[in-house]
Amino acid sequence: MNRPGLILLLVASISGCESTPLSRSVGAPIVDGERETGERAVVLIQAVIGACTGTLITDRVVLTAKHCVQQQSAMSPAPPSFFSVGVGDRAGATTNHRVQQVVTTPGRFFIGDGTDIALLILREPVEGVEPITVRREVPTDLVGSTVTAIGFGTTREREVGIKYRTTATIENVTATVLEARDTICQGDSGGPIILEGDGTRPRQIVGVASYGLAANQGDCPAMLDAWNRVDTYLGLIDAAIVRSGACVATGEELCNSIDDDCDGETDEGCLALGEACERDDQCAFGRGAPRRRASERAVRRRGGDAPMHAPVRSALARRELQRDRAALRRRCDRGRWLLLRHERGLRGPLRPGVGGLGLAG
């Protein structure tokens, strides 16, 4: 994706050598790869501000890069009407879908700062396409691993808008990006690197194509490729999934009033409403018999096991009840909490408000 306003020039001073200019291109095709006619979850994002690559992570949510949806000098992304998501293997031959909402990290950004993540929520589900999920674990264990890169970017033969794939080796993982070499070019921005499944886990996205370093502006492939980490923005990604109406599978089912495994049932195997909890993991929010524990602590503070007078028990119960109610007001279900976290990025920090959580700003 060619966007001259987002080209940053770096100069590397090498001792005893002439300074060599480097170009950091934010329009980071898959170079020297093979033609990809399948992999329908990897889509072409067409916009007024350029073309990029993205990936369907649910039937309505596309993961891409922030610089694909927002100019660097802008405080917010372009409106949804600016974008179209095409399912297919080449520009001009895709089935296009309209965008309902653009979700990204708040404020301005600088390429390389680790905030190059965005999501497009589509108006309608994409049918007949198997989404690719994101990996939730920290990727520091992936150094030396082989991953698959897919994109619609410019090839060495200067083809543009045709889907290619290749493999790369993760050489380094920083706090913000995963690094490899000789892979991406303009138009691959927002495309995935995929850790293929091994029989014990599914294939998963571990990064989003962000930028490349090249000796000269426009050179392909880049000498150093960088994919923005996805594990650092799981809250943002989950919030977009919840907004689309989908479920976020976070693991095995827990007794927390949430459908953790996305099987359509909530808290299966847990105690029914009103039954007494014997262990923390049997009750929603893990609140097993809090008043009894508080009373026992109060007895110990008084110096023994002597029975308390009724007024003392009543006061302790009232205080414990007040704390319980305040805690429950602050503990929302996962969907509402994720949405509040997203709103924090748009409207200001979360702060305790009257009756629970409030939004500042």
Q: Model pTM?
A: 0.68
pLDDT digits (tens, 9 = 90+) for 252-302: 777 777 777 888 887 777 877 667 777 766 665 544 433 333 444 444 444
Mean pLDDT along residues 97-116 = 92
Mean pLDDT along residues 107-123 = 92
Domain that holds residue 354: 331-361
Mean pLDDT along residues 197-203 = 87
**Same structural domain for residues 233 and 296?**
no
**Same structural domain for residues 117 and 207?**
yes
Is residue 253 domain-resident?
no
CA dist 119 and 138 (Å) reads 20
**Same structural domain for residues 94 and 8?**
yes
- For residues 183-209, one letter each, b for 16 or more C-beta atoms within 10 angstroms of the residue's C-beta and e for the rest, the string is bbbbbbbbbbbbbeeeeeeebbbbbbb
The total domain count for the chain is 3
**Same structural domain for residues 206 and 293?**
no
Is residue 258 domain-resident?
no
pLDDT digits (tens, 9 = 90+) for 287-342: 443 333 344 444 444 444 444 443 434 455 556 656 655 555 554 444 455 555 55
Is residue 279 domain-resident?
no
**Same structural domain for residues 79 and 113?**
yes
Whether 159 and 21 have beta carbons less than 8 Å apart is answered as: no
For residue 236, give both structure tokens: 């943002």
**Same structural domain for residues 60 and 31?**
yes
**Same structural domain for residues 175 and 111?**
yes
Q: Which of 47, 66, 45, 67 is nearest to 56 (CA)?
A: 45
Residues 6+ apart with CB under 8 A from 46: 83, 84, 85, 86, 91, 96
For residue 161, the domain's CATH number is 2.40.10.120
Mapped onto helix, strand or coil, the DSSP state of residue 263 is coil
**Same structural domain for residues 81 and 193?**
yes
Is residue 248 domain-resident?
no
Is residue 192 domain-resident?
yes
**Same structural domain for residues 238 and 296?**
no
**Same structural domain for residues 182 and 63?**
yes
**Same structural domain for residues 43 and 155?**
yes
**Same structural domain for residues 140 and 17?**
yes
Residue 340 pLDDT: 52
> Between helices 290-302 and 310-330, what is the axis angle to 10°?
130
CA dist 135 and 132 (Å) reads 10
What does residue 332 show for φ and ψ, rounded to 5 degrees?
-85, 165
